[in-house]
Structure 1
């Protein structure tokens, strides 16, 4: 009886490396029959096998950690927490790519529910360390906004810090699963870098509500941000 083929990791072409490594590593985990508790290949091994840099490998491991499927143990390595495959590591989202306005409004409906709840939970559960992290991300966002008039990556980092302050990993996991589809539409809607610029001041008031441990105020400030976003979508798509 022939032996089953062994799973291998092969070098990848230089196109969207992080996404390719995510898919390649998920397939490798499945084909290798790794089970929860098993150790993943070491960082250097992944770098050599896939012909990618350390930063790409670390980005992918961080992505898997955010999804709650692996755990990095200091001085020991990275371990699988739950079985995954190329089919399960991504959540495919079906959006109409031909109608930007409708796609933005649909994703906004999902964001509204998640972000309102995340802000309220963060206001109740945040620690002083969480608050310092949120404020640091807010200050980075404010610097970028004042220098460039826009702050896309910094805005995302601010909201991720709020998600982390909930101490509920499902908030970040949901965003990680949906991020690819979201970013495809939200990177620069209508080719307008000033999109939703009017919402900028309310990020500071949202932080203040979380600092004051006031869930109701956090909800109201989040609603103000998202109301401006919706107004801009409808105005710019006329």
Structure 2
């Protein structure tokens, strides 16, 4: 069998498993059919099915429990993050590339969120902003609240593939981060202002303004090189756009 034929069979089985998951309406935590049943339903050899399942397990998309079966993992479960982060993100350029991808994903998510967010969604985002305000005034895990806001934007984009890509990118990014509070009051006020403007832009369906504000926010979340091996996250610049 040629490598092209082998790849074609692999892709065919992979597509078949995806269709089967949709047909059976399986959700994260649900058990997949057995290897034997998959082989019968997909009309493929068990060894070929086993190869595909092993690949999916390596990617963290499924997990096998001895004596119980194979289960779908939630979208945020990516074991490759821990396995490869130390290798992929060793050099400065790779880290910068990763952050550029994050900006592109979130800017695209905002475009979709503008079109798809409803009144209840806007209220949810406003709640996140109010939470940020409380944390800025009284102390707490501000970075966690910010991430929650951005995750809500990704959900509002309502694009399954975008969400699947965003989660591991964020997880890779977090391997570089150390918690650092924004202590400057003016920086906090600027940040809160930008988040409020972003919510307002989403509310009034102003796509151009929403993307512009999101890009402004993300520029101030850029990891900055302080020495060869240390990067500082969530540092606000003195200037603003």
Question: What TM-score does the superposition give when structure 1 sets the normalisation length?
Answer: 0.56
1:36 lines up with 2:49 in the alignment: no
Contact kept in structure 2, 1:199 and 1:229, CA below 8 Å: no
Q: Any stretches of 5+ residues in structure 1 without a counterpart?
A: 1-32, 40-68
The alpha-carbon deviation at position 36 of structure 1 amounts to 3.3
Name the Cα RMSD after superposition. 3.7
- Shift in alpha-carbon separation, 1:106–1:129, aligned structure 2, 3 A: same
Larger radius of gyration: 2
Structure 1 segments (4+ residues) deviating >4 Å: 79-84, 91-94, 195-198, 234-238
The alpha-carbon deviation at position 159 of structure 1 amounts to 0.7
Q: Which residue of the partner structure matches residue 22 of structure 1?
A: none
The structure showing larger relative contact order (alpha-carbon pairs under 8 Å, at least 6 residues apart) is 1
- Match for 1:96 among 66, 71, 89? 89
- Match for 2:207 among 212, 215, 228? 215
CA distance in 1, matches of 2:178, 2:110: 22
The alpha-carbon deviation at position 95 of structure 1 amounts to 3.4
Q: Which residue of the partner structure matches residue 204 of structure 1?
A: 196
1:108 lines up with 2:99 in the alignment: yes
CA distance in 1, matches of 2:182, 2:96: 18
- Shift in alpha-carbon separation, 1:160–1:234, aligned structure 2, 3 A: same
Q: Which residue of the partner structure matches residue 166 of structure 1?
A: 157
Contact kept in structure 1, 2:102 and 2:169, CA below 8 Å: no
Q: Any stretches of 5+ residues in structure 2 without a counterpart?
A: 1-16, 34-51, 61-77, 233-241
Residue pairs, 1:1-238, within 5 angstroms: 36=21, 71=27, 78=30, 80=32, 85-89=56-60, 90=78, 91=80, 92=84, 94-97=87-90, 104-148=95-139, 151-188=142-179, 192-194=180-182, 197=188, 199-230=191-222, 233=224
The alpha-carbon deviation at position 209 of structure 1 amounts to 0.7
The alpha-carbon deviation at position 150 of structure 1 amounts to 5.8
Question: What TM-score does the superposition give when structure 2 sets the normalisation length?
Answer: 0.56
SS of the residue 2:27 aligns to: strand
SS of the residue 1:36 aligns to: helix
CA distance in 2, matches of 1:200, 1:104: 27
